[in-house]
Amino acid sequence: VHIIDARPKISALANRFVGGGVESKKHYKNCKIHFMDIENIHVMRAAFEKLRVNCYASARDSRICDATHWLQHISLLLIAAKTIVKLIDKSFHKKCPIAILVHCSDGWDRTTQLISLSCLLLDSYYRTLIGFITLIEIQWLAFGHKFSQRTGIGSIGKEKEQSPIFLQFID
């Protein structure tokens, strides 16, 4: 069993003290835990706000955009998706099925990003227009992602729930 925990390890351990959890290898036989170091929605919202304010004002100075860490966050998502794909590919070619569990603290933001990116990388169907629409419907709308809250569509007074999670996926 491979557990892909999207959170930074320190965040996962800190969640334990507030009633959340983190898997322990002692509870799972032959388990490997991969921490992907992807920050939470609040960090992403702050990075996007810096990007929006600073980069549009001075698009020619890449140092200002670099300071937002937006591309670093995108890079971590891609690295994590690549890890998932490599595990699946390795399992397929060795004809040795493995279980892969992907999650974050709540299971709907980073998890949705990683599963969606992995689907795009693994299956060319999702790289077609109809396939991409299907992917969005399944992963972002039907499976419980807080799409309207994160995008701010129809969620008046819930600004703290907004975060550019979907925009990151599109980037």
Active site residues: 104
How far is residue 131 from each of residues 102, 125, 139, 149, measured CA to CA in Å?
A: 22, 5, 12, 24
DSSP secondary structure, the chain, as one string: -EEEE-S-HHHHHHHHTTT-----GGGSTT-EEEE-----HHHHHHHHHHIIIIIHH-TT-HHHHHTTTHHHHHHHHHHHHHHHHHHHHHHHHTT----EEEE-SSSSSHHHHHHHHHHHHH-GGGGSHHHHHHHIIIIIIIT---HHHHHTTT-TT-GGG---HHHHHH-
Q: Is the four-CA dihedral 119, 125, 131, 132 of positive or negative sign?
A: positive
